[in-house]
Amino acid sequence: MTDQRFLHNQWSSRLAFILAASGSAIGLGNIWKFPYLAGENGGGAFVAVYLLCVIAIGIPLMIAETMLGRRGRQNPINTMLTLTREAKASPAWHYAGWLGVLSGFLILSYYSVIAGWSMVYMFKMNSGFMNNVSAESASRIFGDLKSSPEIQFIWHTIFMTITMTIVSRGVSGGLERATRFMMPGLLVMLLLLDGYAMSSDGFGEGISFLFKPDFSRLSGESVLVALGQAFFSLGLGMGAIMIYGSYLPSHVSIPRSTTFVAFMDTLVALLAGVAIFPIVFANQLEPTMGPGLIFQTLPIAFGQMPGGSFFGLLFFVLLFLAAITSAIALIEPAVAWLSENRDMTREAASLWSGVTCWLLGLGTVFSFNVWSENTWFGKNFFEIVDFLTANFMLPLGGILVALFAGWIVMREVSEAELEMGAAYKYWQFAIRYISPLAVALVALSAIDVV
Ligand code: PHE
């Protein structure tokens, strides 16, 4: 059905997939999360392991997950059911689809709170409030936001409402158009910040922190965090890319388009790192300051550049758009499943999933203030949800996708879907052996520190 529509306009269909998939991949993960994780995990060595995970595990898996989606052409749970039937395998495989739907829920619950932070910063930038802000004031301003459950509550609610309104209408053409200017816009803003970083005193130190690996600073847990971040940032292991793959016309090359998306995703994360660490070192800040890193560094840069309040506004608007397009991908598997299998309208499905996510998100809102003392194993609510999803559920989902695509789906099927020629056997080797073994090894080596 989708094919028919796309057949008339083949170029735009490939572009549509690339836009949707990069909309899902590029988000808070690249700009908010990657820099603070790199900062907390020692810099260069973490970045090196991250890049290795993207290339050796992420790209083959992205190809696999997209392929499963295109073959199954439904929501992740039904896709897994159809494909197991086709391969005459055990229907138990469809639980992988469930795992994905659940991961999306949990991630979106806190994602929305952080997106709320970036909405607050749109206004702070625009008001000129950040002009020539010092490092101390930037920290204080962010601290005030973190300690206010009320403000975070309001913006979390607004963000979830916007997301669910868009999702209930179906992933629309308007959104596609937004992505079309959002991505180049985000790149330009990051390049502007990189230009500023180059002229700052901390540039040399920032670059060597980010790109000079010191493997003695890398723990087993850091390796797991790098792997989890690769899954998170590429949007793998939870059925999001499977859904987008299901709208992909059969003539589009999956390996080529997914590799392009993975490349752009990684580029954006690295450009964000290059913008942020010079500011950290030029202002004697700590790279290990955690989730507040971008909010305490970027305002300093915008505050000093000419036209900074305008560029700052633009940056946070683009970040908000990038967050919206990722949020939609996070919740789409659940909404698609509810409306296709549970006989709900799309509106009802969006409402139910949205309200559940919103409720869970309150736990994250309170993690930074009233519940900050409530920790389990040294982690607050937000950190537990984040750790569980990025470092456990997504990699587990990924292993299942790899095993399923590599061992269960028939070779004729994957060969025909991928049309990779001689490169097929490398993909098959990666997906059959490298991805599952690497993920299992990393997880095992981290267990004693987890
Ligand atoms: N990749 C998104 C980001 O980096 C988050 C996401 C994760 C989206 C999983 C979809 C699926 O912000």
- Quick: pLDDT tens for 239-253: 999 988 888 888 889
- Going from the Cα of 232 to the center of ligand 1, the distance in angstroms, rounded, reads 5
Distance 74 CA to ligand 1 centre (A): 20
Neighbour tally for 207: CB within 10 Å: 18
pLDDT of residue 54: 97
When mean pLDDT is compared over 81-90, 216-225, 284-293, 407-416, the highest value belongs to 284-293
Query: Could you report the per-residue pLDDT of 309-321, keeping only the tens digit for each?
Result: 999 999 999 999 9
Distance CA 354, CA 305 (A): 39
| Position in ligand 1 atom list of the atom nearest CA 28 | 12
The mean per-residue pLDDT over the stretch 149-157 comes to 98
Average pLDDT of the residues in 255-268? 96
Indicate whether 174 pLDDT > 70.
no
CB atoms within 10 A of CB 227: 28
Q: For a pocket test of ligand 1, which of 102, 106, 233 has the largest count of ligand atoms closer than 8 A to its C-beta?
A: 233
| Partners of 146 in beta bridges | none
Q: Whose CA is nearest to atom 4 of ligand 1?
A: 29
Confidence bin at 13 (pLDDT 50/70/90):
confident
pLDDT of 5 above 80: no
Q: Please, what is the average pLDDT of the chain?
A: 90
Instruction: For residue 53, give its domain range.
Output: 2-447
Atom in ligand 1 nearest the alpha carbon of residue 329: 10
Band (pLDDT 50/70/90 cuts) for residue 183 is confident
> Sorting pLDDT into bands at 50, 70 and 90, what band is 173?
low
Which pLDDT score is estimated for 69? 92
ipTM of this complex > 0.90? yes
Q: Which among 179, 185, 146 is positioned nearest to 364, based on CA atoms?
A: 146
Model confidence pLDDT, tens digit, residues 25-65 = 999 999 999 999 999 999 999 999 999 999 999 999 999 99
Mean pLDDT lowest among 38-52, 135-149, 282-296, 328-342:
328-342
Angle ∠(375,376,380) on CA atoms, nearest 5? 40
| 3-state class (DSSP) for residue 178 | helix
| Res 6 pLDDT > 50 | no
Give the model's pLDDT for residue 448.
Answer: 62
The tokens for 404 are 């399923």
- Residue 358 pLDDT more than 90? yes
Residue 74 contacts residue 239 (beta carbons within 8 Å): no
**pLDDT grade for 171, boundaries at 50, 70 and 90:** low
For ligand 1, what atom is nearest to the CA of residue 265? 4
Atom of ligand 1 minimally distant from the CA of 232: 7
| More reliable by pLDDT, 88 or 157 | 157
Read off the pLDDT of residues 296-305 as tens digits, 9 standing for 90 and up: 999 999 999 8
**4: pLDDT confidence band, cut at 50, 70 and 90?**
very low
Instruction: Report residue 335 as tokens.
Output: 């909404």
Dihedral angle sign, alpha carbons of residues 305, 307, 313, 319 = negative
The pLDDT of residue 2 is 42
N-to-C CA span, the chain: 47
Instruction: Find the 1 Cα to ligand 1 centroid distance in Å.
Output: 28
Please give all residues whose beta carbon lies within 6 A of any atom in ligand 1, as ranges.
Answer: 24-25, 27-30, 107, 232-233, 235, 238, 240, 326, 329-330
Neighbours of 71 (CB within 10 A): 21
Decide if pLDDT at 105 tops 50. yes
For residue 198, pLDDT over 90 is answered with yes
Statement: residue 410 has pLDDT above 90: no
| pLDDT score of 449 more than 60 | no
Tell me the C-alpha distance between 322 and 186, whole Å.
Answer: 9
Question: pLDDT at residue 12 above 70?
Answer: no
- Atom nearest to 25 CA in ligand 1: 1
Give the model's confidence band at 9: pLDDT under 50 very low, under 70 low, under 90 confident, else very high: very low
Residue 115 has pLDDT above 50, yes or no: yes
HEC letters along 304-358: HCCCHHHHHHHHHHHHHHHHHHHHHHHHHHHHHHHHHHCCCCHHHHHHHHHHHHH
Q: Which residues is 379 bridged to in the sheet?
A: 376
Provide the token pair at 106.
């949990």
Print the SS3 string covering 350-397: HHHHHHHHHHHHHHHHHHCCCCCCCCECCECHHHHHHHHHHHHHHHHH
Q: Which of 328, 330, 401 to mutate to test the pocket of ligand 1 (most atoms within 8 A of CB)?
A: 330
pLDDT at 14: 83
| CA 129 / ligand 1 centre spacing (Å) | 31
**What value does the mean pLDDT take over residues 362-366?**
97
pLDDT score of 175:
65
Tell me what the mean pLDDT of segment 167-173 comes to.
Answer: 73
Residue 179 has pLDDT above 90, yes or no: no
Residue 347 to residue 339: CA distance in whole angstroms: 9
The token pair at 303 is 């505050």
- Closest C-alpha among 114, 152, 146 to residue 324: 114
Query: What backbone phi and psi angles, to 5 degrees, belong to 170?
Result: 90, 150
Where does the pLDDT of residue 394 fall: very low under 50, low under 70, confident under 90, or very high at 90 and above?
very high
Residue 450 has pLDDT above 60, yes or no: no
Ligand 1 center to residue 326 CA distance, Å? 5
Return the CATH number at 373. 1.20.1740.10
Tell me how far the alpha carbon of residue 449 lies from the centroid of ligand 1, in angstroms: 26
Residue 425 to residue 427: CA distance in whole angstroms: 5
Give Cβ neighbours of residue 449 (< 8 Å, ≥ 6 apart): 219, 220, 221
Residue 172, pLDDT score: 58
**Nearest Cα to 200, choosing from 133, 280, 270, 125?**
280
Q: Which atom of ligand 1 is nearest to the CA of 394?
A: 9
pLDDT of residue 204: 97
Q: How many domains does the chain have?
A: 1
Cβ neighbourhood burial of 371 (10 Å; 0-12, 13-18, 19+): middle
Whether the predicted pLDDT of 140 surpasses 90: yes
